[in-house]
Amino acid sequence: MKVLIQRVSEASVTVENKVVGTIRKGLLVFLGITHSDSEKEAQFLADKVANLRVFEDGEGKMNLSLKDVEGSALIISQFTLYGDAIKGRRPSFTDAARPDKATPLYEYFISEVRKTGIKTEAGIFGASMEVSLVNSGPVTILIEK
């Protein structure tokens, strides 16, 4: 499982011209799921999202978590995080889990983030989405478990 986390001052996701999720200060989380992933990885990464210290404290140091700043999370399914473009010109996505496995883990991950007390919005799994964001910093972190 991979999460690509971006610290944002605002972010939203639109499906078929309808905004389905929007946040202000918080984290935009792109979630990629592979074949061997389980609820164990989802729990670990949900805790990481809630507690990762990427927000600045009074001294300008990244010392505060999403919980500390009472921020929100916007979670987007992103199978292309498992794209392999080493060979040829067209990426291969064979390492991305199929929807029958990935959908329940995506939903489980969202529920685990919500359990931490974080206000959480989400995209729609498998939909064609337009994501808008203002990356604050910029801060972008990739975590793989």
Active site residues: 80
Nearest to 71 by CA among 110, 23, 11: 23
E-strand stretches of 47-118: 55-56, 62-64, 72-77
Please give the structure tokens belonging to residue 114. Answer: 């919500």
Query: Which own/partner contact pairs does 48-56 have at CB distance under 8 Å and 24+ positions apart?
Result: 48/3, 48/143, 49/3, 49/5, 49/73, 49/113, 49/116, 49/118, 50/113, 50/116, 50/117, 50/118, 51/116, 52/5, 52/27, 52/141, 54/5, 54/7, 54/27, 54/139, 54/141, 55/7
